[in-house]
Structure 1
Amino acid sequence: MESQKITSNKNCARLYPVGVQKRKGVKFVAEIRHPIDKKNIWLGTFTTVDEAFARYKSKKLEFEELIIAKNAKKDQISEKSNKKICSGDGYKQKAQWVLLEIQIHQRELRKKSKKKWEMKRMNNYLRGLG
């Protein structure tokens, strides 16, 4: 990959691949941003672009596996919480689902608009359930 120009999506020319920078002389460095901690991680100094990019790619694969594992853990937690809600009496179960849907709807209303009359209407509806 001898000083080829690599173009990115923003129509600007790059002399080196993502994660690789040139230092004084003939040294190249590799850096990557941690996807969870949001901090730059120094991967080292290398003599060629290919070595630096190979190190960057291997670390990127590690981070992708970390993200997949984290998302799988979240899915397991949400499945357990859904099972807890579903167990029990049919009436209780339906009431829990209705309250859950109302809470979700309230969050959406808060995010989308801060109109007072929508919130008042929802609060009046909730008071009627209680």
Structure 2
Amino acid sequence: MNLDELKQIRKRNFLAHKKKKKEYYLKSKLTKKEFDYEAELNNENFFSKIKAIAHEQKMYIDNRKEAIVTKINDYRNTKKEYYEQNKEKRLEYNKEYREKKKEELKAYRKEYYKKLKEKQLNKLEEE
């Protein structure tokens, strides 16, 4: 096969995929039922719907509470282990970073005071 044939095959496959995807979304769009907001969320039903939604969410959280707590604890433990393993590296990096910043700050201050001194001298000369 040469390059042009490969490009044509790729283009055909991409267009077929795109068509299939479009058909899937159109099909799912047709199967969705229309939601009547006026009837569902009028003044009479609004608070009962909100309560029902809140109850469903609470039930979902209650059912998954143990799994959520174990995931949080696992995350804490892995994070703690990671920090313990890399403590020396982190401390060394922080030390180097502080030294580097210290040198940069020294240079900045030196330059800043030099410019400030020149400004004040220029002001005195003008007066």
Q: Is the TM value for this pair above 0.5?
A: no
- Normalised by the length of structure 2, the TM-score is 0.34
Q: Which has the higher strand share?
A: 1
- Normalised by the length of structure 1, the TM-score is 0.33
Q: Which has the higher helix share?
A: 2
Between structure 1 and structure 2, the one with the greater Rg is: 2
